[in-house]
Amino acid sequence: MASSPFHYELPEDRIAQSPPSERDGASLLIVRRSGVPELEHRRVVDLPDLLDRGDLLVVNRSKVFPARLRAERRSGGRVELLLLAEPVPGSGVWRAMARPMRRLRVGETLLLDGSGGAEVEVVSLGDGVLEVAFAPGTDVVALAERIGETPLPPYIRRPDGPSREDRGRYQTVFAREPGSVAAPTAGLHLTERLLAAVRARGVGVTEVLL
């Protein structure tokens, strides 16, 4: 299926570069589908009023880890890696995206910024994705927590890199287990106060791990 039907123009000044001061102050669009679709503009804080007793709210407790790593090639070029997944858990080989990628070669090593000398080896190159191998025994998630950056979406511009505040806000209040390289974005706007109000209405709240 072609992606062109989903292309649209979005003016730069309509892309928020920082979140609202309160998580549940974000906008909420309601689409009522009975008959002709009706649209209603509300706020996330209104969510409890829109749910009924017996409904179930499902949240994803996966926690985002700072999966964006900066590195240097032996040739002196700079590379940005975004870790995606470890296909074989414990292998130390991770799928990643790289920028720039076109000059990378299988077998070359990249020195990770701020790591005290840790390197990764490029072990395969694919269509837009590569695989990098960390040294045996490396706790990659712990290493990323120490030297990595919050993987903000590309439309959020931070010339000096993500801030400490970004690391906190790009995480849900119910995040528990590290593993995601992108936040479950709808959940970013839920607060403990809102979840308590939902439960008070007799709505169930349960967790999944994706």
Q: pLDDT tens across 44-53, in order?
A: 999 999 999 9
The pTM of this model reads 0.80
Instruction: Look up residue 120 and give its two tokens.
Output: 């990764």
Average pLDDT score, the chain: 92
For 162, the 3-state DSSP assignment is coil
Give the residue among 134, 57, 61 at the shortest CA–CA distance from 94.
134
74 CB contacts (<8 Å, ≥6 apart)? Answer: 108, 109, 111
Give the residue among 171, 196, 93 at the shortest CA–CA distance from 135.
93
Strands (E), 52-156: 56-60, 62-64, 68-73, 78-85, 93-99, 109-112, 119-125, 130-134
Q: Tell me if 140 sits within 8 A of 83, measured CB to CB.
A: yes
pLDDT per position as a tens digit, 133-160: 999 999 999 999 999 999 888 888 988 8
Angle at 102 between CA 170 and CA 133, to 5 degrees: 65
